[in-house]
Structure 1
Amino acid sequence: MTEAEEIVAGAGVAVPDAADGEQAKEEKKSASTVLVELAQASYRFGVSEAGETFGVPRVGSPVVFLLRGGKTSLRAQLARAYFARVRKAAPQQALADALLVIEGFAQEENPERLEIRVARSDGAFWLDLGDPTGRAVRIKPGGWTIEDEPPVLFKRTALTLPLPLPVRGGSLDELWEWLNFDPADRPLVVAWLVSLFFPEMPHPVPNLSGEQGSGKSTAGKVMSLIVDPTGAPARKAPRDPESWVTAATGSWVVSLDNLSDMPPWLSDAICRAVTGDGDVRRKLYTNTDLEVISFRRCVILNGIDLGAVRGDLADRLIPLDLLIIGEDNRLEEEELWPSWQEAHPRILGAVLDMLASVASQLPSVRLARKPRMADFARILKAVDELSGTDGLARYLSKQKALATDSLTADVFIVAVAEKIDTTFTGTASELLVLVTPDDDGKWRAPKGWPGTARAVTTRLRRQAPPMRKAGWMVEDDGGANHSNAVRWTLTPPPREVGDSGSLGSHSSRSLQGREFASQASQENGPSQVVPCTRCGLPLHPAAAAGGHTTHPSC
């Protein structure tokens, strides 16, 4: 029996024998009618929360087939079943008509949630193995098992590849044979891998850096393949928002390789993807209909210059440093990936073991303060407690450094840092006049320079969090003054000895003031470092001395 005949037989539809005249009877029906009948016999129809029509086999593995797509689509399955039934290829128009009818049936059903690769249900984590059987791994506190019939609906895409069956008894130590990260960064990598199984939380974005020859591209591929193997484990940078949506929706983990720059639209798109925020766009083939594009994904970056990253994305990054690979330790592609296939089941099993342990540990984890990406910070602290590492301190230190690095990409903030030596108080318009060079009209504003007071206000509000992390006091009065115009107060970090106030020296005073809190502690004693009671970042000493306990903007 052919595979197509098995599909029809499994659906309870008899494969016709040309000799018994059944084929002639079927030919009296329209092709679209036969297709709809085949679909009804073989599948139950549904619609996802995002409006996607799908079918689930009535018998066999509960694998979701989206209505349209490639070889894994319901359309392709019906075309195969039709040929098995009448020994003819289904006409294109008949397929189109049948799919329209199926869509109508599906729209009568209540929306259902479709998952991609990972899910949480019934108090457990689930990992889709991606194979034809529809099996999934069930992970609960203390252990994991492989289940034949998971209680969640997993959808597959053209990129989805099967995972190997995980093997018990593996060790995460084997992972570092494939990922040559700085040992101090390893807890961050482990925590990020564990966080992949939490589909409802915002995910930080690893940014891989290192010298040429440190294996950044290979590391990005391995990190994505561990939990979510696809046909494109490393992808080039998308050229526009549309191509980004196409690339990102095809898998749970998206690894972008060799990024030369980070355009603002891509920075915003990545931030929305890792937090699950949506966007609205016009529906294809319509003039006025709108659709909401909303998805949450885990993203890996490779090669981006941290100085070119905007503050909102910098808050979500995990800079990971790769060590150089010696010539004696390099592997050629033809031996690298076969070795990976052999090690993958053990490494996956070790990751699942760590997830089960973290799930047991998390209820008792408490953070002294909650930084940005607090969910990830809790997972990281759980990994630290289980492994005896200090990854959380490493992560927080990197976050402070990133805030500083992101400011150097903003020409206006750099100009502010060069111009302001003491406290500035005034309106956005006055600040713009202060920092704009007076060069007899010869000066030309560089790209990214705010041209209006409103643009300055927008810029300051966006950059206030990283500026505070770098040691600045950034406050506004909300217009609560006699002129009703918002007045800003900007105070740079304390000067260091020998600081001349130039841009170069600002790298040790303001923009690069990542050690501001520790410096203040050394100079004035620990009691002088007062954290904001809301955001947790340190108050400027002048504000703390005045009795303030929060940033006014908090």
Structure 2
Amino acid sequence: MAEDDDKTPARVTITDYAQSHFRYFRTAEGTVYAQRNGHPVARPMRSQGTTGSHRQELIVGMYRDGVGVFNGTALKEALDLIEALALYEETHAVNIRVAPGFDGATWLDLGRDDGQSVRIHPTGWDILTPDPREVCWRRTQLTGELPLPAKDTGGKGIDLLMRLCNFATAETECLAIAWLIGCLGPSVPVPAPFLTGPQGAGKSTAGRMLLRIIEGMSGDLRRAPKDEGDLLAAVAAGWITALDNLSHMTPDLSDAMCCIVTGAESVKRALFSDGDVFRLGYRRPLLLTGIDVGVIRPDLAERLLPLRLERPRIRRTEAELWAEFAEVLPVILGSLLDMTVKVRAMDVETPTDLRMADFAHLCAQLDAAAGLGALPAYRASLDDLNDDVIEGDLLAQTVLKHAESIEPGAEQRMTSTQWLHCLSRLHSGEELRPLPKGWPTTGKVLSDRLKRLQPTLAARGVLIDNGRTSEGRYLEMTRPAGPPPPEPQRAF
């Protein structure tokens, strides 16, 4: 009986083992993670996954070290105590695939079991195992393994990649390179490349190749989810979200994509609770493929990067194509890392007239490093997207038509209701054509639509502003005096 009293409780044995072999911490959102000593990969305490959960990791470790096998009650009591203690520790961020490091460096997770990763620093890049207190990797079932990148490639990996893809022009190729470099930066919002072209141009294949350079050979495209919740779940589980064969884009999906590209936070009620909430902050690279998605909303157009492909003259089998890609992937990745180091070393001015200023700055750096003309190509792509927005929006067309009657340098001010009557009469014309479906029905709706169209109309020399006087609110339309801004040089 005395021996039983002196026996150490199982929960204490488990707790002592866990705290001596793992580091426990919490994120700023309050999620507790476990990290094996000396290893950069962290696992969430509450993970109940069938593979890779911390609970399984702890059970296997104690069994292999001869500590013993314990029942579920003892494990639960020990893990509950450890999780409670971790809430008093300092916070630490966890990252998927890319992460900021010390001294201006960034890291790329290769997805390897040994934790080896790529450290990209101002003087080059190296393959190292990061200090767990510098980088904590979060892995999911979408985290594929990348090969060790090749050194001293001489830049030939970029040429190998472009030979495998069917990009229509050299300008399109340099935009694809700029996007890949942007994906290696954890703090650089990048526009979403939209791979388009005729049927049979290899859009899905090229999309998979761009994706697998960053996400490994297990990365793949997926169909657009039915609702925002499913989309956010996919976004949270990986670094690049790639949607294939888009043929239609609902307003909700368009808004969700805007949030993914530039960043947002989703707050939901925590499971099995009445008052607790679960926070999910996200900003991820996004990739799309499709022939035509119909009308593009102006706010999404500013966040897209159209990459046009052409049909190949010589067809190859899937097996041959992917065997060659897997063989040259280490060289492609090595060349991309070399180019990333050169680009980041360039000191250039940031263009201040573009919505995605960080990506525009990256394009300017790429031009300084390699002279590829990425920034003019990016400007031209945005100009093409503005044309697409105007062609698909009758209200924008009507506003531009009305603006032709305004003298340069003059302004016209009316209430939103007066503007609605004016534009409606102009659209109907002398034939009294019926107003189309979706035409604004109230002044408030018109005002909201014009706010969305502001960047598109400004690119065509028409400024829309709003304000308030003692008589009420007004909308003002202006055509700036002087010559219009020069048209960007079209790259394709």
Q: Within the alignment, does 1:43 sit opposite 2:22 as a pair? A: yes
**Identity within the alignment, %:** 34
Identify the match of residue 143 of structure 1 among 124, 132, 153.
Answer: 124
Match of 1:181 among 145, 162, 167: 167
SS of alignment partner, residue 245 of structure 1: helix
Residues in 2 aligned to 1:368 and 1:63: alpha-carbon distance in whole angstroms:
38
Indicate conservation of the 8 Å contact 1:141/1:358, yes or no: no
Aligned ranges 1:5-24 → 2 under 5 Å: none
**Structure-2 residue corresponding to 1:300:** 287
Q: Does 1:64 align with 2:42?
A: yes
Instruction: Report the AA paired with residue 63 of structure 1.
Output: V
Report the Cα distance in structure 2 between the residues aligned to 1:273 and 1:261, rounded to whole angstroms: 18
Instruction: Could you tell me which runs of 5 or more consecutive residues in structure 2 were left unpaired when the two chains were aligned.
Output: 407-411
Q: How many residues align?
A: 467
Q: Which residue of 1 aligns with 2:185?
A: 198
How far apart are residue 344 of structure 1 and its match?
Answer: 0.5
Q: Is the 1:428–1:488 contact (alpha carbons within 8 Å) kept by the matching residues of 2?
A: no
RMSD between superposed Cα atoms in Å: 3.1
Aligned letter for 2:245? N
* Native 8 Å contact 1:159 1:232 kept in 2: yes
Tell me what 2:409 maps to: none
**Matching of residue 311 in structure 1 with residue 334 in structure 2:** no
Q: Are the structure 2 counterparts of residues 61 and 367 from structure 1 closer, same or farther at C-alpha, using a change threshold of 3 Å?
A: closer
Alpha-carbon distance, 1:32 to partner: 5.1
CA distance in 1, matches of 2:269, 2:440: 30
Q: 1:329 to 1:442 in 2, by over 3 A?
A: closer
Query: Following TM superposition, by how much is the alpha carbon of 1:414 offset from its aligned partner in structure 2, in angstroms?
Result: 4.4
Partner of 2:463: 474
2:378 aligned residue: 395
Correspondence 1:229-240 to 2 at 5 A: 229=216, 231-240=218-227
1:272-313: CA deviations, max 9, x gaps? 222222233333333343333211111101116354221111
Distance in 2 separating the partners of 1:382 and 1:401: 23
Partner amino acid, structure 1, of 2:198? E
- Partner of 1:356 in structure 2? 341
Which residue of the partner structure matches residue 447 of structure 2? 457
| Pair 102,176 (structure 1): closer, same or farther in 2 beyond 3 Å | same
Moved more, 413-422 or 207-216: 413-422
**Pick aligned residue for 1:256 from 243, 262, 273:** 243
Q: Which shows bigger deviation, 369-378 or 40-49?
A: 369-378
Q: Deviations over 1:191-223 (max 9, x none)?
A: 111111221122111000011111111111111
Distance in 2 (CA, whole Å) between partners of 1:31 and 1:133 is 31
CA distance in 2, matches of 1:413, 1:530: 19
CA distance in 2: counterparts of 1:436 and 1:94, whole angstroms: 73
Query: What is the rounded CA distance, in whole Å, between the counterparts of 1:242 and 1:410 in structure 2?
Result: 29
Pairing 1:104–2:73 present: no
Give, as a single letter, the amino acid of the residue that structure 2 aligns with 1:389: L
CA distance in 2, matches of 1:370, 1:201: 17
Question: Does the 8 A contact of 1:235 with 1:257 survive in 2?
Answer: yes
- Tell me how far 1:399 sits from its aligned partner: 0.6
Q: TM-score by structure 2 length?
A: 0.86
Give a deviation string over 1:39-93, Cα, whole Å, max 9, x none.
22321101112322111112x42221222153222122124345555775853x5
Alpha carbons of structure 1 residues 268 and 134: separation in structure 2 relative to 1, 3 Å: same
For 1:419-464, what per-residue CA distance to the aligned partner results, in whole angstroms no more than 9, with x for missing partners?
775246422112223344779x996862x44332222111111211
1:117 paired residue number: 97
- Could you tell me how far apart the structure 1 residues matched to 2:435 and 2:68 are? 72
Q: Which letter maps to 2:165?
A: L
Change (3 A) 1:94 1:311: farther
Q: 1:217 aligns with which of 204, 222, 226?
A: 204
1-structure distance, mates of 2:268, 2:245:
29
Distance 1:356 1:196, change over 3 A: same
Give SS of 2:477's match. strand
Q: Select between 111-120 and 344-353 the one with higher mean Cα deviation.
A: 111-120
Q: Distance in 1 between matches of 2:143 and 2:218?
A: 7
Taking a change above 3 Å as real, the CA distance of residues 306 and 425 of structure 1, as seen in their structure-2 partners, is farther
Question: Which structure has the bigger radius of gyration?
Answer: 1
Q: Equivalents in 2 of 1:442, 1:211: separation in Å? A: 35
Go from structure 1 to structure 2 and tell me whether the alpha carbon gap of 1:153 and 1:47 turns closer, same or farther (over 3 Å shift): same
Q: Helix, strand or coil for the counterpart of 1:111?
A: coil
Matches within 5 A, 1:425-440: 425-436=413-424
Q: Is residue 199–residue 291 contact of structure 2 (8 Å, CA) maintained in 1?
A: no
Partners in 1 of 2:250 and 2:8 — Cα distance?
A: 55
In 1, the alpha carbon distance for the partners of 2:233 and 2:4 equals 43
Unaligned runs of 5+ in 1: 1-23, 494-519, 521-526, 538-554
What is the one-letter code of the residue matched to 1:528?
P
1:62·1:153 contact (CA, 8 Å) conserved in 2? yes
Matched, 1:163 2:163: no
Report the more deviating stretch, 304-313 or 347-356: 304-313
Which structure's relative contact order is higher, taking Cα pairs within 8 Å and 6+ residues apart?
A: 2
Contact 1:65 1:73 in 2 (8 A): yes
2:255 to 258, 268, 281: 268
Distance 2:151 2:440 in 1: 57
Q: How far apart, CA to CA, are the structure 2 residues paired with 1:206 and 1:262?
A: 15
CA deviation vs aligned residue, 1:240-279 (integer Å, no higher than 9, x gap): 1111111001111111111121122222222222222223
Per the alignment, in what secondary structure is the counterpart of residue 319 of structure 1? strand
Q: Secondary structure at the match of 1:308?
A: coil
Give 1:479's aligned amino acid: R
With over 3 angstroms needed to count, the CA separation of the structure-2 counterparts of 1:244 and 1:32, relative to structure 1, is farther
- Paired position in structure 1 for 2:317: 331
Q: Deviations over 1:485-540 (max 9, x none)?
A: 2133266x9xxxxxxxxxxxxxxxxxxxxxxxxxx9xxxxxx72369xxxx99xxx
- Distance, in Å, in 1 between the alignment partners of 2:333 and 2:4 is 53
Partner of 2:109: 128
